[in-house]
Chain A
Amino acid sequence: MTTPDIYRVDQRTEEYPGTFTLAISPRENSAPGNEATGTVAQAAAARATGAQQNESCQSFQPGQFNMLYVFGAGEVPISMSGAAGSGNGYIHTIRSLGAVTQGLERLRQGDPLGVRGPFGSGWPLAETAGRQVLIIAGGLGLAPLRPAIYHLLNPGANSGETMASRVSLFYGARTPAEMLYRRELEDWSRDIEVHTTVDSADQAWAGHVGVVTSLLSTTAIDPEQTIAFICGPEIMMRFSIQELIRRGVPTTAIYISMERNMKCATGHCGHCQWGPNFICRDGPVFRYGDIASWFSIREL
């Protein structure tokens, strides 16, 4: 798909200042203007809260991204952060940084935007069956991993796939106030191991303080039965990979989500070329064993 479809914002949720989540759906399915009420608004609310998202999102592979187009400003690649389901909308969690994301931040319920996608590769969820899954997220990196977490929490809804033997989430954020999806983290901790940490906090925070890699030492790892998904700032992924390798996890069992300057999203323009790969077409999710030699080249 190379031409944007017109979507509208069903719901906007402020995660913390400068970071927000948009629930969007195709224009013909959206409530008009700012008057979304009844079932459409309820469905949007359900998507944003996560618990019922399997019922309401368009099909995509967890880990994929859309190109979101703000009219008059431009396009930006943003990963899906809701559940992949049978509905007709998407959920995206976005940090406001440049002109386009600032434009997205200004959108309110009912406002239009263009959408191209889904694009790229997803997390290899079929490979999680019977294995220990380590999900390592840093900052906004939890957003592209959330669809995978939904999948792992509810494997029965996914074509009878076998469950992972164990799922452990390690999430590092800057401060307690800048943690994404805090209510869901609590909910998830009833079904999977959830370890959180922040880089700095005051005494009101009773949780862990320290880098996310320090959390990994708290869990037993069977290297032969482990598969790891990592998403966050590249330096955080690099140190997480080093820790996993030190613990014996094979590089072929480590998957990361890469970011580069994606423009066309179809592997034609070359903006996101990374060695022999195009991040938009061959990624953003890569098996580390396949790209390790490129990962360490600083000029790329």
Chain B
Amino acid sequence: MKTITDLLRDHPFFDGMAKADLEFIGGCGMNRVFKAGEYVARENEPADHFYLIRRGRAVIETFMPHRGALSLKTLRDGDICGWSWLFPPYCWAFDVRALDNLHCIQLDGKCLRNKCAEDTRLGYDLMQRFARIMTERLRDTRLQLLDVYGHPGQPPGDNK
């Protein structure tokens, strides 16, 4: 049976990470299952953990008065969920809800951020990995904000 460290080693997010670092991170990790519909995170609650999704889907949501919960992005197998544990005030910025039974590795962000403060080499390594994901999500979010399907320019030949 694979250990948490083995599972982390197989995950692309941790590709190339030093063995000792993987063992440290894996040492404060555990398998976790959320049932479909269960909330993985709630806005403004303490962000002490983050998750590697092994199987299933989750959706990042926010609540708007008079409109209800709005879906912002779907996460699925192989995705990372959560980086609020890295930055003050260490609170979730959005809700995260399991769409299916969600199998994850839960990692201890609170423990890890203390370690990163002491070991800046590990801190820089982790920050680079999260920055790549943040950059991808920021690019995707910008594209979503463009609303390219909703407000196209004047169609060709139809400019009268």
Contact = CB atoms under 8 A, between A and B. Distances in A.
Given A211-B143, A235-B146, A235-B148, A95 B157 contact: no
A200 B71 contact: yes
Name the residue in A73, A174, A260 with the highest tally of chain B Cβ atoms < 10 Å from its Cβ: A174
A174 B147 contact: yes
Contact of B155 (A67, A259, A272): A259
A76 interface: yes
B39 to A, nearest CB: 12
Contacts, number: 110
Contact of A235 (B74, B143, B150): B143
B140 A210 contact: yes
A231 interface: no
A203 B71 contact: yes
B155 A139 contact: no
A99 B158 contact: yes
B74 A208 contact: yes
Interface string A80-122: 0000000000000001011111000000000000000000000
Contact of A203 (B57, B61, B73, B140): B61
Given A201-B70, A203-B71, A239-B143, A272 B149 contact: no
A97 B149 contact: no
Contact of A100 (B68, B149, B152, B160): B160
A208 B59 CA distance: 8
A259 B156 CA distance: 6
B134 interface: no
- Which A-B residue pairs are the 5 nearest by beta carbons? A139-B149, A98-B158, A174-B149, A233-B148, A209-B71
A53 interface: no
Contacts of A208: 57, 74, 76
Contacts of A218: 76
Contacts of A50: none
A213 interface: yes
Contacts of A201: 70-71
Interface residues on A, range: 35 or more
A68 to B, nearest CB: 10
A213 B99 contact: no
Given A202-B67, A261-B157, 11 more contacts: A76-B157, A97-B152, A98-B155, A98-B158, A100-B158, A200-B71, A202-B68, A203-B69, A210-B74, A239-B143, A272-B156
B128 interface: no
B144 interface: yes
B6 to A, nearest CB: 23
B72 interface: yes
Contacts of B68: 202-203
B160 A74 contact: yes
23 contacts: A76-B155, A77-B157, A97-B152, A97-B154, A97-B155, A98-B160, A100-B160, A101-B158, A139-B148, A140-B152, A199-B144, A199-B149, A205-B71, A208-B76, A211-B140, A211-B143, A214-B140, A233-B149, A235-B143, A235-B148, A239-B139, A263-B157, A279-B156
